[in-house]
Amino acid sequence: MNNLKIIVFENFKEVGEKIDKHLKKINNTDKSFIVPINAVRFSNGEGKVEIKGTVRNKDVYLLSDVGNYSTTYTMYKKEHNMSPDDHYQDIKRAISAISGTAEKITLVTPLLYQSRQHKRRLQESLDCSMSLQELKSLGVSHIVSFDVHDPSVSNAVHNMAFDNLFATSEILNELIKNENIENLLVVSPDEGAIDRAKYYSTLLKIDFGGMFYKRRGTKVKNGKNPITEHIYLGEDVKNKNIIVVDDMIASGSSMIEVAEELKKRGANKIIFAVTFSLLTEGKEVFQEAYDKGLFTELYSTNLTYVPEEIKKMPWYHEVDLSKKIAIIINTLHKKESLKKVIKKGEDDIALKVSKK
């Protein structure tokens, strides 16, 4: 395994160090796989990345959380929080620093950059596909991401390896450990999450309850068309416990509106399960909804940054994906199929459900 190296950006340091520990355990070694880097900013905001270790002829994995807004830099004596654009530029800087020397470059970016801008209407920018093509041109041969907003965006780079993986097994593992799965229905908050909701219900061996149709307005506000109405299509939810599943929560307003509609229809306990909790409006929106009894728990992963104050909330349950990422990296490095990783996760859930 001397050929395996990982580069962990500051925005993914905590999870990256856990991944390194798992890799050391998997490969029975005390030697770290991390190659240190120095990402610096000049006083005018321009940046550069220096690689502080050797990557020549190595199988290199870059780990970055482009959604981490807690990372900062100083420009013109003012502190700025790094945006996804800033993180993406640092990824490109690191790639340029190792391009031509590394044997293979794989980018592990759980939250895919610009994944919400995955399609174009009229004269909109097509950011996600442009970034994928740019990464390929820079020398990236493989991208590993999680629960991509629209997996078909990988068609933009049809001759580059692109793995869209899921945290479903790990989320369900925590949910089964803490919740009673009897009298439970899975509900999709919109038509886009139906397949995800069906997958949850299949693994839990419970019913898929239904979905909400979002009726939207025509005027764009804060980058999106506001939802004017949620229309529920599905089974009766009266006295049922509900798990609402989605890929991400942004502000959280839509998910809370779904919970309100379910409560109006007589639903009992409501649980949210998502891969990414962006919570762009902070904890206040969810705390208020929790205090009103609209939901009881939010299960989410550490694949993107969540502030410590939110992690301490009684309704928040963090699901650690560091071990899974380590297994994925190790499997890819050994040139083995990821199917066995996915299958093992599904088998583990099936075993735990049968014991319930």
What is the residue-wise DSSP string for 247-269? EEESSSHHHHHHHHHHHHTT---
In whole angstroms, give the CA distance from residue 153 to residue 160. 12
Domain shared by 115 and 256, yes or no: no
- Going by their DSSP bridges, the two strands 78-81 and 208-216 should be labelled as unpaired
**pLDDT for the residue 352:** 87
Is residue 350 assigned to a domain? no
Question: Contact at 8 Å (CB) between 310 and 283?
Answer: yes
Is residue 246 assigned to a domain? yes
Domain shared by 46 and 161, yes or no: yes
Domain shared by 175 and 233, yes or no: yes
Question: Contact at 8 Å (CB) between 104 and 160?
Answer: no
The DSSP 8-state label assigned to residue 151 in this structure reads G
The type of residue at 212 is F
Is residue 343 assigned to a domain? no
Q: Residue 78, SS3?
A: strand
CA angle 258, 260, 265 (to 5 degrees): 95
Token pair of 219, please?
Answer: 């005027």
Domain shared by 12 and 146, yes or no: yes
Q: What is the pLDDT along the chain (356 residues), one digit of tens a residue?
A: 679 999 999 999 999 999 999 999 999 999 999 999 999 999 999 999 999 999 999 999 999 999 999 999 999 999 999 999 999 999 999 999 998 899 999 999 999 999 887 677 778 888 999 999 999 999 999 999 999 988 888 888 988 999 999 999 999 999 999 998 888 999 999 988 999 999 999 999 999 999 998 776 556 555 555 666 778 999 999 999 999 999 999 999 889 999 999 999 999 999 999 999 999 988 899 999 999 999 999 999 999 999 999 999 999 999 999 999 999 999 999 999 999 999 999 889 988 888 77
Give the pTM: 0.93
State in Å, rounded, how far the first CA of the chain is from the last one.
Answer: 40
Domain shared by 217 and 93, yes or no: no
**pLDDT for the residue 216:** 62
Per the structure, the complete domain to which residue 220 belongs is given by: 168-319
Is residue 19 assigned to a domain? yes
How many structural domains are present in the chain?
2
Domain shared by 22 and 155, yes or no: yes
Contact partners, residue 348, CB within 8 Å, separation at least 6: 169, 173
How many other β-carbons are positioned within 10 Å of the β-carbon of residue 211?
Answer: 21
Q: What is the pLDDT of residues 212-251, one digit of tens each?
A: 987 765 565 555 556 667 789 999 999 999 999 999 999 9
Nearest to 112 by CA among 97, 130, 99: 130
Domain shared by 272 and 287, yes or no: yes
Q: What is the CATH number of the domain that holds 227?
A: 3.40.50.2020
**pLDDT for the residue 243:** 97
Domain shared by 154 and 259, yes or no: no
**pLDDT for the residue 261:** 93
Domain shared by 309 and 212, yes or no: yes
Is residue 158 assigned to a domain? yes
In whole angstroms, give the CA distance from residue 64 to residue 338. 21
Is residue 356 assigned to a domain? no
**H-type alpha helices, the chain:** 13-26, 84-98, 127-138, 168-178, 194-204, 253-264, 284-291, 308-311, 322-333, 339-355
Q: Is the dihedral of CA 129, 198, 223, 148 positive or negative?
A: negative
**pLDDT for the residue 151:** 86
Is residue 221 assigned to a domain? yes
Domain shared by 160 and 172, yes or no: no
The type of residue at 7 is I
**pLDDT for the residue 220:** 58
Domain shared by 118 and 209, yes or no: no
Question: Contact at 8 Å (CB) between 39 and 275?
Answer: no
- Angle between helical axes of 339-355 and 168-178 (0-180°, round to 10): 20
Question: Contact at 8 Å (CB) between 275 and 301?
Answer: yes
Is residue 104 assigned to a domain? yes
Contact partners, residue 262, CB within 8 Å, separation at least 6: 187, 232, 237, 242, 244, 270
Domain shared by 311 and 193, yes or no: yes
